Amino acid sequence: MRRILLTNDDGITRPGLWALYDVVKDLGEVYVVAPESARSATGMSITLHKPLRLKRLLIHGSTAYACSGTPSDCVIVAVNKVLSGKPPDLIVSGINEGNNVSLQAVYGSGTVAAAVRGALIGVPSAAFSLASRENEPLSFAWLKEATGRAAERARPFIEWLLNNGMPKGVDYFNVNFPPEVNSHTPVKVTKAGKIRYTEMVNERQDPQGRLYYWLHGKLVPEEMFEPDTDVYALFVEKSISVSPMRLNTSVEDLSSLKHIADFFRSGR
């Protein structure tokens, strides 16, 4: 029986997690270990300075473990404790509420981080995210319905991953669905764009007159998105974007860079 670890970064009660659960539950033994509440934008953050708690819950008739930490903590605790040290056959993360396209998202997203954690221990992994509708607040009912549509499209891909493992040279997948995804939505195999948001800082004054700051982002104009990237596929082509990702970020050919060592010799 194949073992599937399911996690997310929005929290264990969120509809995107259970939409994935519904479509993978008959593909193997599914272990749900997810943050007890939202851990968005936590990236690869792990919890070393305080202990973690794990709560065993019954959600939708299934055993699930709510973890007090980040998605990375969830993967580490799941593999070492819930799965008794034997890595699962597949790690599935999501479906995230909001897109995770571009390197900016890949590096900062807790949902993607769970897949990167899987890749670090050599487990086939995939992260799934659903872009939000423009100018529409997120409603639970809509999320439930839309992540259901997305999960239907994810299912045969997950089944293929379980049966075949990762393709050579791919360490994990980053998959993004447009909000209107349905059974006819085309699929593009993409690279990650560089950024999707220009980072902004909003300055305000508190009632005591002291300044405080909100981070936020302004979507990069569509005409700056390069074709064949995830941002282009999702926002311009309204397609499902599938990005095969590598773990390794080292420069491969160091031959022209060996001389850099010389610059560490002080001339002072």
What is the footprint of a copy of itself within residues 3-22 (CB under 8 A)?
none
Judged by CB under 8 A, the chain residues 48 through 87 that form the site for a copy of itself are 48-49, 51-54, 72-73, 76-77, 79-81
Residue with Cβ nearer a copy of itself (59 or 103): 103
DSSP state of 239: P
In the complex, the smallest distance separating the C-beta of residue 1 from a copy of itself, rounded to whole angstroms, is 20
Please tell me the distance from the alpha carbon of residue 206 to that of residue 223, in angstroms, as a whole number. 38
Report how far residue 262's alpha carbon sits from residue 87's, in angstroms, rounded to the nearest whole number. 43
Residue number with CB closer to a copy of itself (191 or 238)? 191
DSSP-derived secondary structure letter, 134:
T
| Min dist. Cβ of residue 218 to a copy of itself (A) | 12
Q: Which of 103, 149, 179, 238 binds a copy of itself (CB under 8 A)?
A: 103
Q: What is the spatial distance between Cα 188 and Cα 232, in angstroms, rounded to a whole number?
A: 10
Helix (H, G, I), strand (E, B) or coil at 89: coil
Task: Check if the beta carbon of residue 59 is closer than 8 Å to that of residue 53.
Answer: no
Burial class (CB in 10 A: 0-12, 13-18, 19+), 175: buried
The minimum distance between CB 92 and a copy of itself, in angstroms, equals 14
Mask: binding to a copy of itself, 236-265, rule CB under 8 A, as x and -?
A: ----x-xxxxxxxxxxx-x-xxx-xxxxxx
Stretch that binds a copy of itself, among 4-12, 13-21, 135-143, 185-193 (CB under 8 A): 185-193
Q: How far apart are the first and last CA of the chain?
A: 65
Task: Report residue 69 as tokens.
Answer: 């930490």
Of 183, 205, 208, 223, the one binding a copy of itself by CB under 8 A: 183
Identify which of residues 30 and 113 has a Cβ nearer to a copy of itself in the complex: 113
Smallest gap from Cβ 128 to a copy of itself, in A, equals 11
Tell me the number of residues near a copy of itself by CB under 8 A: 89
Q: Please choose, out of 11-19, 88-96, 132-140, 165-173, the segment that lies near a copy of itself by the rule CB under 8 A.
A: 165-173
Residues 105-164 that bind a copy of itself (CB under 8 A): 106-108, 113, 116, 120-121, 152-157, 160
Residue type at 176?
Answer: N
**Cβ proximity to a copy of itself, 28 vs 244, nearer residue:** 244
The binder of a copy of itself chosen from 134, 136, 203, 223 (CB under 8 A): 203
- Angstrom distance (rounded) from CA 165 to CA 213: 45
By CB under 8 A, residue 194 contacts a copy of itself: yes
Min CB(160)–a copy of itself separation in Å: 4
Rounded-to-integer distance, Cα 251 and Cα 104, Å = 19
Q: Which residues contact 215 (CB under 8 A, 6 or more apart)?
A: 199, 200, 201, 202
Q: Which residue has the tokens 């939409």?
A: 19
